[in-house]
Amino acid sequence: MRLEERCDGRTYIGLTSCTRARMTNRAAISVHSCLLLGTSLLAASAVVACERDKSEPPPLPGISYPPSPQELPAKPSDAPGPRPETAKTDAPKVEDPMADLDKDMARVLAEAQALGGKPLPGLKAEEARKQPTLTDAVKSVLKKDEKAITPEAVAKVQDRNIPGAAGNIPVRVYTPTSDTTPLPIVVYYHGGGFVLATNDVYDATPRALANGAQAIVVSVEYRKAPEHKFPAAHDDAFAAYKWVLKNAGSIGGDGKRVAVAGESAGGNLAANVAIAARDKQERMPVHLLLVYPVASSNMSSESYQKYREAKPLDKNMMIWFTEQYFKTADDGKDPRINLVAANLKGLPETTIINAEIDPLLSDGKLLAEKLEAAGVSVKQKTYGGVTHEFFGMAAVVEDAKDAQKLASERLRGSFIDAAKATDATALGK
């Protein structure tokens, strides 16, 4: 059974190649900024008007543009008689994709814009990794509100190295305050387009899930592109999962109650871990938590067209990420990337969380449909007024608090069900 939920009744209209961000009685902010996926704010350029000419890119499908001066009909003569009607030149008004940002989301993007940065396309990965991050922007908002920037407290945080697919990789283990032992485990994979980010940048989500789900969270630092091409990150993700299954007791966890979770590129990795576990006859995770996952190679989907110039993630950035990670364009056809074409039968209960203002929105919705068709129990929820990367911003974005609560409740439910199944097996039922 599939449950789908929308967190906001508003609708959003497509965008033009030259747009102006505006928010009615919410926040006035121009957010033509280019941010690295999950990590970096890139240079902003407030654009208030543009003219069509031969140098412009092709118009977006379904959007009407005003005719150029050369296309307008000639001025009627002053001769007697009825004048011919002049063609109307007013094009339909097209809303900017960022116009309906929630006020708190808008504040984060405004701070991100103020931090500066360089446009992602054309940068080398090494330079891209040095750009300001959205985590920096959240801290800036907190400072302006005179609030503490210290992270959410957990009982213990431990960094260690474990075997990856081609050598050791770092992981960070978060343990919540709890009187219960052993605890269930969540293996978590951060975002960053398979290129960017670290466990430091994505520190907020594991802390929130550890406390909310009352579980140990193992955050995996997989290999990145372009130094390590596809499928290096995928191989490391599965190697880390297998290590957790075999070594759960050493970190105070229960190897029979292990879930996988991930954001963006990490959501793709999490789903692939479950598929690989099924195919290689490893113990299956008890739950999949996928937050705005990369799930399709189709960059012409409805949300890619509608939010192709959204921030912090836009279509050009997604193209850049694929150029870094893929060896060839054919890698995009691989079902490990194009999850919606993969065999999804037999996967565990799944939660998919999406942001409305995000090119990856269609990926999440289509993946939910495909999972349902494969007989998987899935709940998909879209949060309106927020963008890609909102999930870890609970300190300043209200919808992130709700999304984290939903994720934690779903994880706890699957952990309880898994415990009951284990007890029933032990009793011979």
Smallest CA-to-CA distance from 151 within 96, 206, 72, 198 is with 206
Task: Select, from the ranges 53-57, 96-100, 412-416, the one with the highest average predicted confidence (pLDDT).
Answer: 412-416
**Which of 324 and 425 is assigned the larger pLDDT?**
324
First to last CA, the chain: 26
Q: Is pLDDT at 148 greater than 90 in this prediction? A: yes
| Rounded average pLDDT over 399-427 | 91
CA distance 323 to 318: 9
Where is average pLDDT lowest: 70-79, 254-263, 377-386? 70-79
Amino acid sitting at position 416: I
Q: Which residue has the tokens 């692939």?
A: 272
- Average pLDDT of the chain? 84
Q: Which residue has the tokens 């474990």?
A: 162
Phi-psi region of 144 (alpha: psi -120 to 50; beta: other; left: phi over 0): alpha
| Rounded average pLDDT over 244-271 | 98
> Which residues have a Cβ under 8 Å from the Cβ of 53 and sit 6 or more positions away?
68
* Domains parsed from the chain with CATH numbers: 14-50+94-144 (no CATH), 156-426 (3.40.50.1820)
**Which of 358 and 46 is assigned the larger pLDDT?**
358
pLDDT at 78: 44
For the packed helices 204-213 and 398-426, what is the interaxial angle rounded to 10 degrees? 50
pLDDT at 159: 98
Asked whether 131 and 54 are in contact (CB, 8 A), the reply is no
pTM score above 0.85: no
Asked whether 284 and 350 are in contact (CB, 8 A), the reply is no
Predicted confidence band at 311 (pLDDT cuts at 50, 70, 90)?
Answer: very high
pLDDT at 55: 39
Where is average pLDDT lowest: 84-93, 100-109, 359-368? 84-93
Predicted confidence band at 165 (pLDDT cuts at 50, 70, 90)?
Answer: very high
Q: How far is CA 5 from CA 288, 351, 354, 383, in A?
A: 17, 11, 10, 9
Asked whether 68 and 161 are in contact (CB, 8 A), the reply is no
Predicted confidence band at 119 (pLDDT cuts at 50, 70, 90)?
Answer: confident
Model pLDDT for residues 288-307, shown as the tens digit of each residue? 999 999 999 999 999 999 99
Asked whether 277 and 285 are in contact (CB, 8 A), the reply is yes
Smallest CA-to-CA distance from 356 within 8, 118, 70, 23 is with 8
Predicted confidence band at 2 (pLDDT cuts at 50, 70, 90)?
Answer: low
pLDDT at 74: 45
| Rounded average pLDDT over 213-226 | 98
pLDDT at 393: 98
pLDDT at 421: 87
Amino acid sitting at position 319: I
Asked whether 345 and 375 are in contact (CB, 8 A), the reply is yes
Q: Is pLDDT at 348 greater than 70 in this prediction? A: yes
Amino acid sitting at position 310: A
Model pLDDT for residues 185-199, shown as the tens digit of each residue? 999 999 999 999 999
Q: Is pLDDT at 286 greater than 50 in this prediction? A: yes
Where is average pLDDT lowest: 174-183, 307-316, 330-339, 417-426? 417-426
The percent of residues above 70 in pLDDT, for the chain, comes to 77
Predicted confidence band at 334 (pLDDT cuts at 50, 70, 90)?
Answer: very high
Structure tokens at 190: 């951060």
pLDDT at 422: 79
Sheet holding 350-357, edge to edge: 2-6, 378-387, 350-357, 288-291, 253-263, 183-189, 216-220, 168-175, 156-163
Strands (E), 91-235: 156-163, 168-175, 183-189, 216-220
Alpha helices in 145-247 (DSSP H): 204-213, 232-247
**Which of 13 and 396 is assigned the larger pLDDT?**
396
Residue 249: exposure state from Cβ atoms within 10 A (0-12, 13-18, ≥19): exposed
**Which of 423 and 286 is assigned the larger pLDDT?**
286
Kind and range of the H or E run holding 199: none
pLDDT at 328: 96
Predicted confidence band at 399 (pLDDT cuts at 50, 70, 90)?
Answer: very high
Model pLDDT for residues 89-114, shown as the tens digit of each residue? 444 455 688 888 999 999 999 999 99
Predicted confidence band at 5 (pLDDT cuts at 50, 70, 90)?
Answer: low
Question: What residues are annotated to the active site?
Answer: 264, 358, 388
Predicted confidence band at 3 (pLDDT cuts at 50, 70, 90)?
Answer: low
**Which of 157 and 122 is assigned the larger pLDDT?**
157
What contacts 24+ positions apart, CB below 8 Å, involve 144-149? 144/111, 145/396, 147/395
| Rounded average pLDDT over 127-151 | 96
Q: Is 219 helix (H, G, I), strand (E, B) or coil?
A: strand
pLDDT at 120: 87
